[in-house]
Structure 1
Amino acid sequence: MKKHLITLTFLLLFVRLHSQTYFETSWISNNVKYTGFVLFYSDEEALVRIKYNANGVDKVASYKCSYQDFTKMDGTKDRYLNGTEASIVKGSTDYGYSADNFYFKNLDGGNYQAYTVDDNGLKGSDITQYMNPTLYWIKLDPKVLTSVYLDDYFNSDEPLYRLLSFENTGEMDFYTQNAAITSLAYGRDTDSSSTSIWSVVMSGFKENGYNHQKVKESSSYPSKWIETQWDLGYHITSLEYDTSRNFFVLIMSKPSNLGSQSWKRLDTFPKQWVSEKWDNNFYITSMTYGAGQWYVVMNQNTGYSAQRWKTSSSGIPKEWIKESWDSGYKITSATYGNGLWAVTMTTNSKLGTQSWKTQSDYPIDWIREKAENGYHITTIAHGDGMWFVAMSNGTPYSTNMSTSNYEFLPLNWIMQKSSN
C-alpha cells in the first residue's frame, strides 16, 4: 500500500509538470471485451485503466506499465510494456485482475500493430510467442477526456480524475473538510528567475467556513462561468493572473456568507466604480491585474464597516498603511499591476494586530517566525520583483499553511490539504 501511495503521488506531480500522451486500446479474450485508457506520464512509464464486464458486472482494473527489455527466441533484443501491480478500482473485488503486457510491431509507413497478453498467459520471457493482436491502439486527442469519458475509468473522487479533468477543462471542484484556499499569488524568486512560482495559502476556519470550492483556469476572464457559479451559490474568494502562461485563476467558494457580488474590469484602477459600490454597502474582497486590465471584486454582507484603498508607483505605501492601522484599518487585499501597487484596508475585518514583509524571495523564514507567535497569512501578492505578505494575529482561522514551490498551481497539494 505504501508503495502504491508513493507511485500515485509521483504520478500526480508528473501530470502537473509534464506533457502527457493518451491512448485507447481494446481486445477480446475468452469472449470478454477489454477496453483500456493508457496515460503515458513519461517516455517509459504509463498508467493503465481497463474496463470490462465480468459475469454481468462492470469492472475497472488499474495497473502501472513500464518498458522492459527481453530476448526473442532468435536471440535478438527487443522490449515490451510490462504491466505490474494490478488492482480492481471499480466493481466487485471478489476476483483480482492479471496485469496486461503490450508489444508493438513496426509496420510499413511508420505504422504499428499492438499486441497483448496478460501475466497469466505469459509463460516465458519472449512475449511474441504468447501475444494476441489488439483490435486497435489509437492516440487520443486530450479534448476527448471529458467527465463522461473519464467516468468510465475513474471514480469521481479520485485525485487523478480531478487532475485530468482540470488539465483538459481548466476546472476542478473539491470539498474543504479541513482547509480551504484563502489566498494565492503568482510570482518569481530571485534565485530562480526563470522559474515561476505559485504561492497558495490554505486555512481551516473556527466557524462558518467554506465546505466546497472550485478552481477555474482560463485564458480569458470567465465571466459567463462566474455567472453560472453565482446561480449555484458560489462567490469569488480569490483571484490571480499567471503572467507566464497568460491565464486567469479564480477560486469560488460556498457557502461564503457573502451577499451580492459584483466585479469590474477597467484599463485603470476603477476608483469611481468602487466609490459608487461603497455607497451601496459593497466592499472590495479580491483584485488582480491581468492582460492589461484591472479586475476588482466587491461584495455586500462582508461585515466590514469602512474601507479605503491606495495605489502607489513607488513601492508598498508604508506610511499610509501605518496611518491606516492607527485609525483601526487592516490590510485585506493587495495586488500589483501596470507599475502600481494597490492595497486595500478595512475596518471591522475581524483581524487583530498585523505585520507585513516584502522580500525578493518568498519570506518563508519570516512566515514561520510569525506563525510561532500566533500569526496567520491573510494577504499575499507579488509584484515589481518582490513578495508582499501580510500576517495577522487574531483571525477567523484555526489553522493556516502555505506552499510556494510549484511552477504550476499545486492542485495535488490543495486536494491533500483540503481533506487531510
Structure 2
Amino acid sequence: MAESKESSRKREKTMLDQEPSCSNLISQFDDFFIDDSKKVGEKRGRVKADANVDKLPKEIRPPSQWFSVYNARKPMKQRYHYNLNDEILLQHFEKGISDKLRISCVSCCSNLWAIIMDAETDYTDQICKLSPLFLPKKWILEQWNKNFFITSFAGSETRNSLLVMSKGVMYTQQSYKVSRSFPYIWINKKWKEDFHVTSMGTAGNRWCIVMSRNAGFSDQVVELDFLYPSEVIQRRLDEGYMITATAASLAQSAVILSIPSNKPGDENETQETLVTPKFPSAHVKEKWPKNLYLSHLCNGPTVC
C-alpha cells in the first residue's frame, strides 16, 4: 500500500527528533579508543593522557664527545671559550677583535657555543652572525657581495647557527649546500669544478657543506662514518693528507682530509688528534708549549 506524503513527513520528523544511539556505534570501535569514556562529545583519552604528561621520560641527548685537531704553528696567541650562550659569545667576539684576534674555528654542544680565536691569521676583517636559520642565505649573499667569505660556522640542535665570514682569504668563489644527509654526490660534482670543502657544520641531523675555489688544495677526500674513524684517519695522514675540516651530527661524523698545493716544511706538517668526553681545555694548554694549536673542533657521537 502506498504511504501518504503527510504520514511520510511525520515519520521523517520523528526519526530526526530522536537522539542518535551513539553509544551503540562507539561500542563497535572500543579497540580504537584509549580510555573508557562513551559519552558523546568528550575528548577521548584527553584526561588520561594529560594525567601522565609529567611521567613521560624527557628527551635524552645521546652521549657525545669532542674531537679536536692540533696543527704545528709558529708561536702565537690563541684564545678559546666554550659553553657560551648567544649574549656572552658576542661579548667574547668583540673583545677578541679589539685584541687583534680572529675566529679560526667554532663548534656547538647542547646548544652552547665554543669559539677558537687566533692572533696569526690572514684575515683582514671579520664579521659574526647568530641566526635562527641554518644558514641565513640572504645575509650570506650580501656579505659575498662585500668580498667576505665563509670561514667557519656551526649549528645547534635547535637549528640556530653561528656564522663567521672573513676578508683576506684566497678564495675566489664559494658555494654551499644544506642537506638532510651528507651530500657526497654534490661534493663529488663540485670537486670536478675545482671546488674544495673548506667548512662543514651540522644542526641536529642536517648537514651544511661549504666549498670554495682556489682553496689551496691539490687533492681531497672525505671520511664518513657513524663513529670517529681514527684508523682510517691515521692511514690518510701517513699518505700525506692533513685534516682540514671536521663536523658531526647526532649520528654521524665526517672528516675532510686534503693535500696542500704548496706542501709546507717538515716543521709545520705535524698534526695530532684527540677525543675527549669534555671540552679539551686542559689539553689545549698542554700543547701550546709544543707549538701545537687547536685548529679544528667538533662534538659528535660517542664511540661505543
Q: Is TM (by shorter chain) over 0.5? A: yes
- 1:233 paired to 2:100: yes
Is the partner of 1:228 in helix, strand or coil?
A: helix
**Aligned counterpart, 1:201:** 69
Superposition CA RMSD, Å = 1.7
- The equivalent position to 2:244 in structure 1, one of 374, 378, 386, is 378
* CA displacement 1:237-277 (0-9 Å, x = unmatched): 1111112xx42111011021201111222222111111111
Structure that is richer in helix per residue: 2
**Aligned counterpart, 1:220:** 85
Whether the 8 Å contact between 1:210 and 1:255 is mirrored in structure 2 is no
**Aligned counterpart, 1:403:** 274
**Aligned counterpart, 1:23:** none
Between the aligned partners of 1:371 and 1:235, the Cα distance in structure 2 is 27
Between the aligned partners of 1:247 and 1:236, the Cα distance in structure 2 is 16
Q: Which amino acid aligns with 2:285?
A: M
Q: 1:224 to 1:194 in 2, by over 3 A?
A: closer
- The equivalent position to 2:185 in structure 1, one of 319, 324, 346, is 319
**Aligned counterpart, 2:220:** 354
Between the aligned partners of 1:364 and 1:311, the Cα distance in structure 2 is 26
Whether the 8 Å contact between 1:210 and 1:256 is mirrored in structure 2 is no
Q: 1:291 to 1:366 in 2, by over 3 A?
A: closer
**Aligned counterpart, 2:34:** none
Between the aligned partners of 2:289 and 2:121, the Cα distance in structure 1 is 19
State the Cα distance separating 1:217 from its structure 2 match: 1.7
State the Cα distance separating 1:290 from its structure 2 match: 2.3
Q: Which runs of 4+ in 1 moved over 6 A?
A: none
**Aligned counterpart, 2:144:** 278
Between the aligned partners of 2:96 and 2:287, the Cα distance in structure 1 is 23
Whether the 8 Å contact between 2:62 and 2:250 is mirrored in structure 1 is no
Q: 1:258 to 1:339 in 2, by over 3 A?
A: same
**Aligned counterpart, 1:82:** none
Matches within 5 A, 1:150-299: 195-205=63-73, 211-221=76-86, 222-243=89-110, 246-268=111-133, 269-290=135-156, 292=158, 293-299=160-166
Q: Which amino acid aligns with 2:210?
A: T
Number of equivalent positions: 221
Q: Which runs of 5 or more residues in structure 1 are unaligned?
A: 1-192
- 1:367 paired to 2:233: yes
Between the aligned partners of 2:155 and 2:271, the Cα distance in structure 1 is 26
* CA displacement 1:126-156 (0-9 Å, x = unmatched): xxxxxxxxxxxxxxxxxxxxxxxxxxxxxxx
Between the aligned partners of 1:341 and 1:194, the Cα distance in structure 2 is 18
Q: 1:294 to 1:348 in 2, by over 3 A?
A: same
* CA displacement 1:341-398 (0-9 Å, x = unmatched): 1000011111220011111111001001101100111111100401110101126652
Q: Which runs of 5 or more residues in structure 2 are unaligned?
A: 1-60, 291-304
Between the aligned partners of 1:295 and 1:197, the Cα distance in structure 2 is 20
Q: Which has the higher contact order (CA 8 A, sep 6+)?
A: 2
Identity among equivalent pairs (%)? 23
State the Cα distance separating 1:194 from its structure 2 match: 5.5
**Aligned counterpart, 1:307:** 174
* CA displacement 1:176-234 (0-9 Å, x = unmatched): xxxxxxxxxxxxxxxxx9642100001114xxx57111011233121022111101100
Between the aligned partners of 1:393 and 1:416, the Cα distance in structure 2 is 27
Q: Which amino acid aligns with 2:256?
A: A
Between the aligned partners of 2:252 and 2:70, the Cα distance in structure 1 is 21
Q: Which amino acid aligns with 1:306?
A: Q
Q: Which amino acid aligns with 1:258?
A: Y
Q: Which amino acid aligns with 1:234?
A: L
* CA displacement 1:88-136 (0-9 Å, x = unmatched): xxxxxxxxxxxxxxxxxxxxxxxxxxxxxxxxxxxxxxxxxxxxxxxxx
Matches within 5 A, 1:12-161: none
**Aligned counterpart, 2:282:** 412
* CA displacement 1:65-93 (0-9 Å, x = unmatched): xxxxxxxxxxxxxxxxxxxxxxxxxxxxx
Is the partner of 2:278 in helix, strand or coil?
A: coil
Between the aligned partners of 1:210 and 1:201, the Cα distance in structure 2 is 17
Between the aligned partners of 1:210 and 1:249, the Cα distance in structure 2 is 22
Q: Which amino acid aligns with 2:64?
A: S
Q: Which amino acid aligns with 1:256?
A: T
**Aligned counterpart, 1:8:** none
State the Cα distance separating 1:291 from its structure 2 match: 6.2
